[in-house]
Chains A and B, each alone.
Chain A
Amino acid sequence: MPGIDVDAPGSVQLLLGNEAIARGALEAGIGFAAAYPGTPSSEILETLARVSKKMNFHAEWSTNEIVALEAAAGASFAGIPAISSMKQNGANVVSDFLVNVGMTGVGRGGLVVVIGDDPSAISSSNEQDSRWICKWMDMPLLEPSTAQEAKDMVKWAFELSRELDIAAVVRETTRLAHTRSNVKLGELPKTEKKAYFPDIWDMDKPTKSKFTAGPFGILHYQLQQRLAKAPAIFETSPFNYYVGPDKPELLIITSGVCWLYSTEAVERLGLQDRVGIFKLGTSWPLPEKLVEKQLSRTNKVLFAEEINPFIEGSVMELAASLPANKPHIDFYGKRTGHVNLFGELNTDLVTDALAKVTGTTYQSRDAKYDMELKEAAKMVPPRSINFCPGCPERAAYWAIKNALTLDGRNGLVTGDIGCYSMGFAAGGFFQERVMHCMGSGIGVANGLGNLKQFGFDQPVIAVAGDSTFFHACIPALVNGVWNRSNFIFVILDNSATAMTGFQPHPGVGVSATGEQAPVVNMEALCRSLGAKVEVCDPFELKSTTETLLRLIADEEPGAKVVIMRRVCELVRGRREKRAPYKMHVDLDKCAGDSCGCNRLCIRLFGCPGLMWDKEAGKAKIDEAQCTGCGVCTDICPQGAIIKEAA
């Protein structure tokens, strides 16, 4: 399959939504792309980084989202079109800079911000509707429904950004980001780009020589004036259109992937003659005249959008300002309970809502189907939330659990979002008891670690991954040292941004484009902050537990750091292509369910590479899963799990 850089205008390629976004950026002639990985947005920068050398632009994984966006804005100030992509949580991280860059404008380059929302939080700590950031910060919002539209919208978003001198936001959701469909390619620009920061005394365009926000309220007023030009542009946008009878009984107003659900729902119920669909691609600010025109078709409207009533609220505000002589419209949506306020929508949910509003009787499928489905589901073995086979984080949590249990004061782990979040479940022995946004584990630990005067003596262990350490933990660590908060900060250094797909970070010596890069030495960094630092291998279970116990007993206040270093087993496997050990269970030694073992390896340690042989009543290596890491040899109280050099 050719790459997304194929120069064949008019040809059709099967692209992932995220690849289509990257292609759109190429067609817009970007010179700068920066991001921090996060589902569902990661493939945008990955795709761009792959072609950046050939296409002569800069692509980087940045330390975190706000640095990525600031870097991209810097490029735009100097006249280089720049894109920054992020998952929904990234929108929260960048918000402080984003509100400021609204005031200053983005300069000649043009700045496009892609935000990937994850309805139902399929791979996120939280669910959120990031579209509000556009109302909050006075930015234009585009919502693609298909990969084709994603590509076209991103390209157009650069023009929009330059025209309004505002960052343009393209909001995708998981289903679009991770679905492949046909995309017709456009042209790749051949123009040379020259970066130059405007002269101070460039009197022709005085505002463009400076990008300094505040303190004048006038900047906010100017931003609003610039944004006020958007509706007129949106009125004629090809991304907004109506399909259906001229005077439908019901009008569905929808955006993003919900447009597809709506189209299918109408077809499924055979309501093409009675129901029309107005697809809104430019969701904020509303193209009011166009919306008014659609509203005048009918007196019944159903909103189909995911998570919050964003368009629903905007349209109802607009309707409230319509002249009094207009006929009354009944609005259905989240406010009326026809559509969920949380979670993803799908064709079934939209069909249900549509059937209710139109009074159509509808059965989605044979009643027997659900019964059969239930039966079939019983055949699927239950799986708990767990770490991968051979994951060093399981070993780390084992050591943490043992240290905290031996200590006996009900110590706790505070963590955040990453592979190690799974420490809240059986895979991490239920140790992690606080989990929020990136960097929050150590932040919360700062508070818990300074409660001694209230009798608090529970040991506190904050955990974060290596990439998260660079992303969001350093200020909290500085704070812990400075304010003498008593906690242990465990950096689970598996040498990758593992959960989002092994992207490099400042500690691994590789850049986004695969080139060699300087290594930021985390232990030297932590030591320079004044923290006591220990480095250990979590597979050394006993000494890791002892290290933790020693630091727990250390009464000198202040944050202490333990770097538990062992490369992600999946990364190691890819690199080395072979297992370090060949594992087997000595059936004579295995005590199985009897006293002295009680199935410790399977029942508690729980590596998926271990399984239970029901007939033999013994443990067994699952050769399909076992990575040969060898750590279970040290878990087995009988010495029955044997590792041999592979």
Chain B
Amino acid sequence: MEATDSKKLFAPEKLRKEVIDEGLCPLCEGCAAGCPYLAQYKGGVVQLDHCTLSEGNCYQYCPRTYTDIDALSQKLFGVPFSGDGIGTAKEVLLAKSTDPEIQEKAQGGGAITALLSVALSERIIDAAIGTRLSDGKATVGLVARNIVTNMSGDGSPVGLLARSREELLQTADADYATARVLSTLNSIPKESNEKLGIIGLPCQVASVSKRKLSPPENRVNMDNVKLVISLFCATKRWLEPGEDRKYINKACSYCWDWTGEFADISVGSGRAKFKDWNTVIARTKAGAELIDIAKAKGALETQPISDESLAIEKKASLDKKKRALKNIIAKTGDRKNLLYLGLSEVIVNKLLT
């Protein structure tokens, strides 16, 4: 047994103290994925055994431990973080799949499935990581989860590596409860050369982006992650309007990112009369290129988003940021203590006005 310095906290304990016990954990699985000491169970993170490392990926990759937002923005987009609404965007448009089968299965326009399908067929990626319900009842869209926390036991989503359009369709339909996207990512051996696409919620995408900043030593090679698609965070559509709030993880009230600002592409459902469409934000060169290829291949039908719609999306996103900041400051009682958010004072002031 190693000597224990009572003053020094080991990484999982630090995580517990600063994130889990503080009610900040969004259950993204960023910590538990790839760690044999942490497990996600019944809507919580459980520490199975003591770890004796003071520095650990669990703490490092948590989207709710200190995150230098500017550094991330610089690394991923080469520009400082602007703090305006929907984040860095090369292009915002409405899109939908042209494939009737995808359209039928997917939530909204099936844009994600269409994009991934193209990414797979064009060998931009070899595998996409999404989710599928373990009871096989998956329906639409791809992905991950995070908002609804009342799901547990049977029927909880499992991670899925999709290497073909058929496998991809199994993941189609967004499931906004916790999925094993990150543990599936982490189960990929570091010597694997498979090019990967990941579809996740904003918190999971944030964890992925922290992995990009400082890649794990013994896990998946992050250079192989060629595409990150974020869902706009929302509740699963079977919830009645207004009903979702009570199922929402309270930790999500401290989340400032609605659209997944560190993805290559972010995708949300179209609003109002564009319900059969997806709102798509191309953030990086890779993201914009994929959209162009998908369009050229006829897999994706697009139309410009109206100024009015774009303004609504931006406002919703800004509102989320403002709410989160207010909640954080209410919790800390200090405008200078924003918990995990490493934002410049200028941006904080801008958001709070």
Chain A's closest residue to B48 (CB) is A405
Query: Which listed residue (A406, A595, A600, A638) contacts B56, Cβ 8 A?
Result: A595
In contact, A406 and B46 (Cβ under 8 angstroms) = yes
Interface string of B32-46 (1 = CB under 8 A from A): 001111010110101
Query: Which listed residue (B11, B48, B56) contacts A402, Cβ 8 A?
Result: B48
Chain B's closest residue to A635 (CB) is B36
In contact, B216 and A596 (Cβ under 8 angstroms) = yes
Name the B residues within 8 Å of A589 (CB-CB). 189
In contact, B48 and A596 (Cβ under 8 angstroms) = no
How many interface residues does chain A have, given as a range?
20 to 34
In contact, B49 and A596 (Cβ under 8 angstroms) = no
In contact, A600 and B44 (Cβ under 8 angstroms) = no
Query: Which listed residue (B36, B41, B47, B191) contacts A596, Cβ 8 A?
Result: B36
Interface string of B3-27 (1 = CB under 8 A from A): 0000000010000000000000000
In contact, B36 and A597 (Cβ under 8 angstroms) = yes
**Known contacts A406-B41, A600-B36, A638-B218; is-contact A595 B48 (Cβ 8 Å):** no
Interface string of A628-641 (1 = CB under 8 A from B): 00000000011100
Nearest CB in chain B: distance from A398 CB, A = 10
Interface string of A365-401 (1 = CB under 8 A from B): 0000000000000000000000000000000000001
In contact, B57 and A595 (Cβ under 8 angstroms) = yes
Q: Which secondary structure dominates chain B's binding surface?
A: loop
In contact, A604 and B49 (Cβ under 8 angstroms) = yes
B223 contacts partner chain A, Cβ-Cβ < 8 Å: no
User: CA–CA, A383 to B39, complex, Å?
Assistant: 30
In contact, B46 and A637 (Cβ under 8 angstroms) = no
In contact, B41 and A595 (Cβ under 8 angstroms) = no
A408 contacts partner chain B, Cβ-Cβ < 8 Å: yes
User: CA–CA, A595 to B31, complex, Å?
Assistant: 11
In contact, B41 and A598 (Cβ under 8 angstroms) = no
Nearest CB in chain B: distance from A499 CB, A = 26
Nearest CB in chain B: distance from A530 CB, A = 26
User: CA–CA, A588 to B191, complex, Å?
Assistant: 10
User: CA–CA, A401 to B46, complex, Å?
Assistant: 12
Query: Which listed residue (A402, A405, A588, A595) contacts B216, Cβ 8 A?
Result: A595
In contact, A598 and B53 (Cβ under 8 angstroms) = yes
In contact, B189 and A639 (Cβ under 8 angstroms) = yes
Query: Which listed residue (A588, A596, A604) contacts B35, Cβ 8 A?
Result: A596
User: CA–CA, A476 to B217, complex, Å?
Assistant: 52
In contact, B37 and A598 (Cβ under 8 angstroms) = yes
A594 contacts partner chain B, Cβ-Cβ < 8 Å: yes
A491 contacts partner chain B, Cβ-Cβ < 8 Å: no
In contact, A591 and B218 (Cβ under 8 angstroms) = yes
User: CA–CA, A593 to B217, complex, Å?
Assistant: 12
In contact, A594 and B46 (Cβ under 8 angstroms) = no
B55 contacts partner chain A, Cβ-Cβ < 8 Å: yes
Nearest CB in chain A: distance from B22 CB, A = 18
B73 contacts partner chain A, Cβ-Cβ < 8 Å: no
In contact, B218 and A598 (Cβ under 8 angstroms) = no
User: CA–CA, A598 to B57, complex, Å?
Assistant: 12
In contact, B36 and A595 (Cβ under 8 angstroms) = no
Query: Which listed residue (A408, A593, A595, A639) contacts B46, Cβ 8 A?
Result: A408
User: CA–CA, A298 to B345, complex, Å?
Assistant: 98
User: CA–CA, A598 to B42, complex, Å?
Assistant: 25
User: CA–CA, A593 to B153, complex, Å?
Assistant: 33
In contact, A594 and B218 (Cβ under 8 angstroms) = yes
Interface string of A581-599 (1 = CB under 8 A from B): 0000000110101111110
Interface string of B124-165 (1 = CB under 8 A from A): 000000000000000000000000000001000000000000
Name the A residues within 8 Å of B48 (CB-CB). 401-402, 405-406
Name the A residues within 8 Å of B42 (CB-CB). 406
B52 contacts partner chain A, Cβ-Cβ < 8 Å: yes
Nearest CB in chain B: distance from A209 CB, A = 66
Nearest CB in chain A: distance from B72 CB, A = 21
Chain A's closest residue to B187 (CB) is A639
In contact, B41 and A637 (Cβ under 8 angstroms) = no
B219 contacts partner chain A, Cβ-Cβ < 8 Å: yes
In contact, A405 and B46 (Cβ under 8 angstroms) = yes
Chain A's closest residue to B219 (CB) is A596
User: CA–CA, A408 to B41, complex, Å?
Assistant: 10
Nearest CB in chain B: distance from A125 CB, A = 25
Name the B residues within 8 Å of A637 (CB-CB). 34-36
In contact, A406 and B35 (Cβ under 8 angstroms) = no
Name the B residues within 8 Å of A593 (CB-CB). 53
B51 contacts partner chain A, Cβ-Cβ < 8 Å: yes
Interface residues of A in 557-616 (CB under 8 A from B): 588-589, 591, 593-598, 600, 603-604
In contact, A597 and B41 (Cβ under 8 angstroms) = no
In contact, B39 and A595 (Cβ under 8 angstroms) = no
In contact, A596 and B189 (Cβ under 8 angstroms) = no
In contact, B218 and A597 (Cβ under 8 angstroms) = yes
User: CA–CA, A598 to B10, complex, Å?
Assistant: 12
Most buried by B among A405, A594, A598, A637: A598
Nearest CB in chain A: distance from B79 CB, A = 31
User: CA–CA, A408 to B55, complex, Å?
Assistant: 25
Interface residues of B in 203-219 (CB under 8 A from A): 216-219
In contact, B44 and A598 (Cβ under 8 angstroms) = no
Chain B's closest residue to A604 (CB) is B49
In contact, B44 and A408 (Cβ under 8 angstroms) = yes
Name the A residues within 8 Å of B47 (CB-CB). 405
Query: Which listed residue (A401, A429, A598, A639) contacts B51, Cβ 8 A?
Result: A598
Nearest CB in chain A: distance from B134 CB, A = 12
Chain A's closest residue to B56 (CB) is A595
Name the A residues within 8 Å of B219 (CB-CB). 596
Chain A's closest residue to B217 (CB) is A594
Most buried by B among A406, A429, A593, A639: A406
Name the B residues within 8 Å of A639 (CB-CB). 189
Name the A residues within 8 Å of B35 (CB-CB). 595-596, 637
Name the B residues within 8 Å of A596 (CB-CB). 34-36, 57, 216-219
Nearest CB in chain A: distance from B278 CB, A = 36
User: CA–CA, A604 to B35, complex, Å?
Assistant: 14
User: CA–CA, A408 to B216, complex, Å?
Assistant: 29
Most buried by A among B37, B52, B56, B216: B37
Query: Which listed residue (A406, A595, A604) contacts B53, Cβ 8 A?
Result: A595
Chain B's closest residue to A553 (CB) is B153
Interface residues of B in 260-314 (CB under 8 A from A): none
Beyond A406-B41, A591-B217: 16 further Cβ-contacts under 8 Å? A406-B48, A408-B41, A408-B44, A588-B191, A593-B53, A594-B217, A595-B11, A595-B53, A595-B57, A595-B58, A596-B36, A596-B218, A600-B36, A637-B34, A638-B218, A639-B189
Q: Can you sample 29 A-B contacts with CB below 8 Å?
A: A401-B48, A402-B48, A405-B47, A405-B48, A406-B39, A406-B42, A406-B46, A406-B48, A408-B41, A553-B153, A588-B191, A591-B217, A594-B218, A595-B53, A595-B55, A595-B56, A595-B217, A595-B218, A596-B34, A596-B36, A596-B57, A596-B219, A597-B218, A598-B53, A600-B37, A600-B49, A603-B52, A637-B34, A639-B189
The 4 closest A-B pairs by CB, nearest first: A637-B36, A591-B218, A596-B218, A406-B41
A residues sitting closer than 8 Å to B (CB atoms) are 401-402, 405-406, 408, 429, 553, 588-589, 591, 593-598, 600, 603-604, 637-639
